[in-house]
A and B are shown apart, each in its own frame.
Chain A
Amino acid sequence: MKALFSQFKFSRILIGDWILFFAALLLVIFLFKTYWHIESATKLQIRQGDKIYATLSLNQSRTLLIHGPLGDSKISIQNGQVRFVSSPCRNQYCVHQGWLKHSGQVAICLPNQISLELLGADKPFDSLNY
């Protein structure tokens, strides 16, 4: 028993260790490449006119109706993403923006005065030029 134990203690790095080591390294590289550049957002800030309507977690499935000057805009939160589903505005730019998921992404409905902004731990910029 003692011999067996010491054998483990002083054994060289085996092929399995190398596989594990490389798998871990690949995982780190993969995660770095996927997530380092633009951080996934965790929170959503909804503004209605001049006011913050709500700051919500993105980790929920929820549909909201937000009232603006033209009527109700429908917003859907799902799998860490958010989008305008429908809007009473004519041009539908806000709906065409589609899903937002990274922090700093913004969708604004000017006619109905509702904006969605994704917040993360570190906001990548102070304001958006468009």
Chain B
Amino acid sequence: MRIFACMLAILLVSCGREPLVQTQSYLFGTLVDISIYGESETKAHQAISQVLQNFQRLHHQLHAWKPDSELSQLNQSFAVGNTPVKVTPELSKMLIQASELSRQSDGLFNPALGHLINAWGFQRDEFTPVEINDADIQKWVKAKPAMSDIVIKDEMVYSTNPAVKLDLGGYAKGYALDQAAKILRDQGIENALVNIGGNIIALGRHGDKPWRIGIQHPRLATPMAMVELLDGWAVGTSGDYQRYFELNGQRYCHILDPRTGYPAQGTQAVTVLIPPGENAGVMSDVASKPIFISGENAKAEAAKKMNVAFYLIVSAQGKVTVTEGMSKRLNWLIKNPDLKVLPD
């Protein structure tokens, strides 16, 4: 009888709620999803609130089309001449990092394309199909706005090209992820998962298991694969299904090829898995873009340039290419994916 009571007690304890605190918020014009495991609710909520406050701050600082953000004010000064403007040390550091990554990607990751992004109608909370104005697009392509036009010295910034307009849409979420990981660690949180608009970073584990991430299928309302995200790892996807419009049967996504000024074609999605490091979040956001934009035969080279070893590509025809390392980490949830594995 006593043994029976003990067993019942153990059963009841194990049936109790697991120590997982989850929150969802709409910030950054997207969904922010934070999970914390193994902490008291009070401590978890305190830490989450710090992370969200920081996101809110970054959102205001880096907003690309609200005129009062620090970034917009810098853009306004770029447009009217090359007088140096004082920026915060944080923005200065971000611009240096973004310039370096742009150079590394041979300019395919190009946050100086704000005018072009606007010409395509993507700099809006709610965008509608635009009449494609080729003359306008060609004007911005010819002006060649690039991160290398920006001069940064002692937190004074100016641009040698008035066509430069910064839009950190392909960088800010990743930066915010790195900041979130740092804030959570500083708060003594060991196990957490932060998801900003699909870009995810993991700290520790979910109890006795690693955190598990579903990778969205670019055409179906279901995840196509599952990946375990170990401590410090980050994952990010660039897809033609996140922000796009359709005009005359053609899909135009928000990822623009700076060489043509048109949305990159030929790819449905690129997912990158980034090992732990100070910039894992930034890399999870940035590194998928050059791979997405590059033509089929240049994708592997683009990945190499960004030092990405773990990636998955879904082509416009739905064919999946994965690196061997990535393949080993994936659990497919769809039956018989049309798969090609690249040796490491």
| A115 close to B24 (CB less than 8 A) | yes
A13 at the interface (CB under 8 A from B): no
Q: Which of A3-11, A14-22, A58-66, A105-113 contacts B (4 or more CB under 8 A)?
A: A105-113
How far apart sit A110 and B222, CA to CA, in the bound complex (Å)?
A: 17
Question: By DSSP majority rule, is chain A's interface helix, strand, loop, or mixed?
Answer: loop
By a beta-carbon cutoff of 8 Å, the part of chain B in contact with chain A is: 23-26, 29-31, 33, 35, 125-128, 193, 195, 197-200, 206, 211-216, 221-223, 226-227, 235-237, 239, 241-242, 245, 271, 333, 335
Given the interface contacts A89-B126, A90-B126, A102-B222, does A129 sit within 8 Å of B333 by beta carbon? no
* Inter-chain pairs besides A108-B31, A128-B215, 11 sampled, C-beta below 8 Å: A37-B333, A89-B126, A90-B128, A104-B214, A110-B31, A115-B31, A125-B213, A129-B195, A129-B235, A129-B237, A130-B216
| B212 close to A126 (CB less than 8 A) | yes
How far apart sit A124 and B226, CA to CA, in the bound complex (Å)?
A: 8
| B213 close to A129 (CB less than 8 A) | yes
| B193 close to A127 (CB less than 8 A) | yes
| B195 close to A50 (CB less than 8 A) | no
Q: Please give the distance in Å from B243's CB to the nearest CB on chain A.
A: 8
A91 at the interface (CB under 8 A from B): yes
Scan A36-72; emit 1 where CB is below 8 A from any B CB, else 0. Answer: 0110000000010110000000000000000000000
Q: A97, A104, A113, A127: which has the most chain B beta carbons within 10 Å?
A: A127
| A110 close to B35 (CB less than 8 A) | no
- Contacting residues, chain B, for A85 (C-beta < 8 A): none
| A105 close to B221 (CB less than 8 A) | yes
14 A–B contacts from the bound complex (CB under 8 Å): A37-B333, A38-B333, A90-B128, A102-B222, A115-B24, A127-B33, A127-B200, A127-B211, A127-B214, A128-B195, A128-B198, A128-B216, A128-B223, A129-B236
Q: Which of A87-126 contact B (CB under 8 A)?
A: 89-91, 97-100, 102, 104-105, 107-108, 110-111, 113, 115, 124-126
| B216 close to A125 (CB less than 8 A) | no
- Contacting residues, chain B, for A98 (C-beta < 8 A): 221
By a beta-carbon cutoff of 8 Å, the part of chain A in contact with chain B is: 37-38, 47, 49-50, 89-91, 97-100, 102, 104-105, 107-108, 110-111, 113, 115, 124-130
Q: Please give the distance in Å from B213's CB to the nearest CB on chain A.
A: 5
How far apart sit A26 and B103, CA to CA, in the bound complex (Å)?
A: 59
| B212 close to A107 (CB less than 8 A) | no
Given the interface contacts A124-B226, A129-B198, does A50 sit within 8 Å of B31 by beta carbon? no
- Contacting residues, chain A, for B25 (C-beta < 8 A): 49-50
How far apart sit A38 and B126, CA to CA, in the bound complex (Å)?
A: 34
- Contacting residues, chain A, for B31 (C-beta < 8 A): 108, 110, 115
- Contacting residues, chain A, for B245 (C-beta < 8 A): 91
Select which of A38, A100, A128 is within 8 A of B213 by beta carbon. A128
Q: A37, A49, A50: which has the most chain B beta carbons within 10 Å?
A: A50
- Contacting residues, chain A, for B237 (C-beta < 8 A): 129-130
Select which of A89, A97, A104, A111 is within 8 A of B223 by beta carbon. A104
How far apart sit A71 and B212, CA to CA, in the bound complex (Å)?
A: 34
| B206 close to A126 (CB less than 8 A) | yes
Q: Please give the distance in Å from A2's CB to the nearest CB on chain B.
A: 45
Select which of B23, B29, B200 is within 8 A of A50 by beta carbon. B23
> Which residue of A has the minimal Cβ distance to B235?
A129
- Contacting residues, chain B, for A124 (C-beta < 8 A): 212, 214, 223, 226, 333
How far apart sit A105 and B223, CA to CA, in the bound complex (Å)?
A: 7
How far apart sit A90 and B126, CA to CA, in the bound complex (Å)?
A: 6
- Contacting residues, chain A, for B35 (C-beta < 8 A): 126-127
Q: Please give the distance in Å from A39's CB to the nearest CB on chain B.
A: 11
Q: Please give the distance in Å from A88's CB to the nearest CB on chain B.
A: 10
How far apart sit A100 and B222, CA to CA, in the bound complex (Å)?
A: 8
How far apart sit A115 and B25, CA to CA, in the bound complex (Å)?
A: 11
| B128 close to A128 (CB less than 8 A) | no
How far apart sit A38 and B225, CA to CA, in the bound complex (Å)?
A: 11
Given the interface contacts A91-B127, A124-B333, does A130 sit within 8 Å of B198 by beta carbon? yes
Given the interface contacts A38-B333, A50-B24, A50-B26, does A129 sit within 8 Å of B127 by beta carbon? no
Select which of B29, B126, B195, B236 is within 8 A of A127 by beta carbon. B195
Q: Please give the distance in Å from B186's CB to the nearest CB on chain A.
A: 22
- Contacting residues, chain B, for A91 (C-beta < 8 A): 126-127, 245
